[in-house]
Amino acid sequence: MQKIHLDTDLGGDIDDLCALAMLLKWPDLDLLAVTTNSDDGGRRAGYTRYVLSRAGRDDVPVAAGADAAQGYYRVWPGLPDEAAYWPEPVPPLPTPPGAALDLLERSIEQGALIAAIGAYTNLALLEKRSPGILRRARLVLMGGYVFPVRAGYPAWGNDMDWNMQVDVQSSYDVLYHSCPTLVPLSVTVETALRRAYLPALREAGPLGQLITRQAEAFAREYHNEERFGQTCAGLPHDIINFQHDPLACAIALGWSEGVEIREVPLKVEVRDGWLYERVDAGGTPTRVVTQVDGAKFSEHWLNVMTR
């Protein structure tokens, strides 16, 4: 049985919820713990606990990690209107300082995959506390911008890579001190949570119902069907959101249909407050996902959720 630890900024973009829900449905998987980053007084940890409770998994430890009030982030990582996205008020779950790092360290020592699908602040703080630990970690990062987005998808640049760019110093430190697999924005942008999936999700128990509620709220707020479904030939017309984080978690767990992973010499530098990655002969060998079949993964995610 595989072991995984999820480090997430759940509570904002709904793909974090889709990732956690997928892990809770994934066969033969031991979810050791969940830690939150860019938290707000434990609100993200509270949302995480709520999701786990709906799945009957109160046994999974949760800890609130790096908080936005601590000044790590380029901008304030805000949270959407709770009444629109959650069916009832959700109490925050503040935890003692260091609790999230304790959980991360314990998971690494147990040989778990560490799937980081938000800012990398907790990982950088852990490395500072326990030098050398990230080099031993089996680390998969959702983020990076090594190669450009393919034609037919949003023509996004490096600045749209939230996970890397919201806390540049932590991103640089983590890349310098670890041997991660990167699942970059340029491939995750080929996935889709579709409106066509909502009827099946609505019948898929408490997690599916929660995703449906949040997907409908997200669609009303962001209008991605008009912004991307009608303008990007590679995406379905009824796209509600991208499945950045579920894809990263699935690849971490070995999902490989249409997936190409290359080891490239990666050079990382910070210029004018932004992080840049490029292929350079003198760079550090780094595993980078360079190709996926986004449509097949999107269907696979739905099958996991509704099986």
Tokens 């900024």 sit on residue: 9
In this structure, the number of other CB atoms found within 10 A of the CB of residue 296 comes to 14
Query: What is the pLDDT at residue 97?
Result: 86
Query: What is the pLDDT at residue 232?
Result: 98
Domain 2-306 homologous superfamily, CATH: Ribonucleoside hydrolase-like (3.90.245.10)
Boundaries of every domain in the chain = 2-306
Tokens encoding 151: 């034609």
CA-wise closest residue to 258 among 213, 291, 299, 221: 291
Beta strand pairing call for 29-36 and 62-64: parallel
d(CA 86, CA 47): 9
What residues of the chain score a pLDDT lower than 50? none
Rounded to 10 deg, the angle between the 205-222 and 294-306 helix axes is 140
- Considering the entire predicted model, what is its pTM? 0.97
Digit-coded pLDDT (tens) for 229-282: 999 999 999 999 999 999 999 999 999 999 999 999 999 999 999 999 999 999
